A and B are shown apart, each in its own frame.
Chain A
Amino acid sequence: MAAKRLTPQLIKELRQVEGPEDQDAETRSLRRSWLKKQQQNLWRWLSIPILAFILLPLGTLLLRIPPGEWLANLNLLQVREAFFLSLSTTLVTLAVTIIFGTPVAYWLARNKSIPGRILDSVIDLPTVLPPAVAGVALLLAFGRRGLMGGVFDAGGIQVVFTPLAVIMAQTFVASPYYIRAAMVGFTGIEEELKQAAALDGANNWEIFRFIAAPLAASSVFSGAVMSWARALGEFGATIIFAGNFPGRTQTMPLAIYMGFQLDLNVALTLSVTLLLISFIVLMVVKGLLHGEWR
């Protein structure tokens, strides 16, 4: 290495060269090392406020309901209905998002034109808009008297107030998270790799299947999980577009909200359940990303 990097050892050496050689050198270096440790610790100290702020409410949630009661409440009809509705709708949302989102991500990742960049921003809109805006927009577009309402009506498809509306609300709000992450993954692949594969006779699909997909796998996977988690937490668009009907459109977040007004136990049980599911999923994903995928 021609240029020396500023390692801690090097800094130490430099400082020792600079320092005047008096008899207090030892105390000085002791104080110096204490200060250095202090500096390293500084980041930990500065981390405490926000960590405490996030951990306190989440911890309080866990403490408010004893594990036994939580387990017993899991058997409540409203809790079970909300749980299974959330599970089934978010899994469909995830499948729809991957099937229809991956081509968008792959295409936009290579599209550097101005319309491509505009689309790139449009895709992100649902993540920055309040979900209530998404709900109103969906209602006005796909409602019975909405812009597209006639199309669905003609096909005999009821959208609003059905699980289909729940899935549409979730997909609208959550799919951009997947597309964004997958796009980042696809953008990171060097063109030369794909060109080399093309030279070797690989067709478009083979390039995607054997080059792009494996290389972007970790981004795609974490994007899918984040988008699923976002769908699981969807509330604002769902209550406006899909309404609130236990077992049909009342997902876990809606049941938590309604439960807060009627039966705090239902709200607490579902809150703790969502908290645990989310935590386990995040841990598993991070474990996979740092372990097998790299």
Chain B
Amino acid sequence: MKGLFRASLFALIMVFVVGCTPGTVRAISGVAGGTQDPRSAAAASSIPVHPATLTVLAAASLTEPFTEIGDEFEALHPGMTIQFNFAGSQQLSQQIAEGAPADIFASANQTQMDVAIQAGGVKPGTAHVFVHNRLVVILPKGNPGQIHSLQDLAKPGLEIILAANAVPVGQYSLEFLQKASQSPAFGPAFEADVLKNVVSYEENVQAIVTKIALGEGDAGIVYTSDVQKADSDISLTIPDALNVIASYPIAAITYSKHIDQANSLIEFILSAQGQSILEKYGFIPAAS
């Protein structure tokens, strides 16, 4: 018996070791993909708008408008259920790369959409820009840092909260600082001075909004669409010349089992109705 036990333990280890070599993993996933694709394609072609549950992976900044869009779409198509997973786009693209079950990916920038495309989760050329967003500086109530202009962000001793550079809004923020440093109104030291004031690189835009609303920082850079939900009444607009216009691409996920339904939801988001919901929450419609 002891021998049998040892033999089975050995077999287990072998399965484990073999299973972990990349070649085998690829072969296994290839087989899985092969059996899945025709089935889902057949299902999609025979029943075009069949009720289904769609899982949408969407950038954290889309939380409010997408929740409303989901409700509207469910009302228009009885039987459809839309589930959302809101997180930092960089996290979502990694989830897609790992094959997380999902039907649609709405990213806050092209970089993370490209990550999903490279991982094979999105077919190249199928992603559409569906909405734009702009950056804005938010300040907590009472403006403890006495920030009255964008230049004030460079004042020493401030506490500024940015998003990590893996997060789209964090990347956009750095682009804004670079642009400003090239402008004579700010001076070349502006970017470095502002970065010296950064106390935290948060992992998503919502965390910045909450921490500024709690007064934990003197300023944060977020999207204009976040200002409406932020408790702070004060925000500093960033002029167009320095601002970064964020473009949000959306696409159906290649391994979705409900491609047709996913496409009709994307069409709805691109329609006048979907765009007006996004506009209501401070986003810039894709057409403008």
Contact = CB atoms under 8 A, between A and B. Distances in A.
Contacts of B12: 48, 52
Contact of B5 (A44, A63, A145): A44
A143 B214 contact: yes
A52 B215 CA distance: 47
Interface in A62-89: 63-64
Given A243-B161, A244-B164, A245-B199, 5 more contacts: A56-B16, A63-B20, A160-B199, A161-B199, A261-B166
B287 to A, nearest CB: 32
B72 interface: no
Interface string B175-214: 0000000000000000000000011111100010001001
A144 interface: yes
Contacts of B88: 261
A232 interface: no
A249 B200 contact: yes
The interface residues of chain B, by DSSP majority, are classed as: mixed
A293 interface: no
B216 interface: yes
Nearest to A162: B199
A267 B5 CA distance: 36
Interface residues of A, number: 33
Contact of A262 (B8, B9, B166, B198): B166
Interface string A29-67: 000000001100100110010001001100110011000
A22 to B, nearest CB: 27
Contacts of B260: none
Interface in A201-232: none
A189 interface: no
Contacts of A139: 214, 216
Interface in A235-285: 239-240, 242-246, 249, 257-258, 260-262
Interface in A140-169: 140, 143-145, 160-161
Given A41-B1, A258-B166, A239 B203 contact: yes
A242 B199 CA distance: 9
Q: What are the 7 A-B residue pairs with the smallest beta carbon separation, nearest first?
A: A243-B200, A161-B199, A145-B215, A262-B166, A261-B90, A261-B166, A63-B20
Contacts of A45: 5
Nearest to A258: B164
Contacts of A140: 214
Nearest to B213: A145
Nearest to B88: A261
B103 interface: no
A244 B203 contact: yes
B53 interface: no
Interface of A: 37-38, 41, 44-45, 48, 52, 55-56, 59-60, 63-64, 139-140, 143-145, 160-161, 239-240, 242-246, 249, 257-258, 260-262
Contacts of B214: 139-140, 143-145
8 contacts: A52-B12, A55-B16, A63-B20, A139-B214, A143-B215, A145-B216, A244-B201, A261-B164
Contacts of B2: 41
B1 A244 contact: no
A244 B167 CA distance: 13
A262 B8 CA distance: 39
A261 B94 contact: yes
B142 to A, nearest CB: 9
Contacts of B226: none
Residue from the set A56, A160, A249 with the largest chain B CB neighbour count within 10 Å: A160
A243 B202 contact: yes
Nearest to A45: B5
Contacts of A246: 201
A112 B9 CA distance: 49
Nearest to A250: B201
B91 interface: yes
Nearest to A246: B201
A34 to B, nearest CB: 8
A262 B90 contact: yes
B258 to A, nearest CB: 27
B200 A161 contact: yes
Contacts of A44: 5
Interface string B217-231: 100000000000000
A246 B199 CA distance: 10
Contacts of A240: 207
B167 to A, nearest CB: 8
Contacts of A242: 200
A242 B216 CA distance: 10
B52 to A, nearest CB: 30
Contacts of B1: 37-38, 41
Contacts of A243: 161, 199-202, 211
Contacts of B199: 160-161, 243, 245
Contacts of B8: 48
Contacts of A145: 214-216
Interface string B6-19: 00110010001100
B203 A160 contact: no
Contacts of A37: 1
Nearest to A262: B166
B156 to A, nearest CB: 14
A261 B216 contact: no
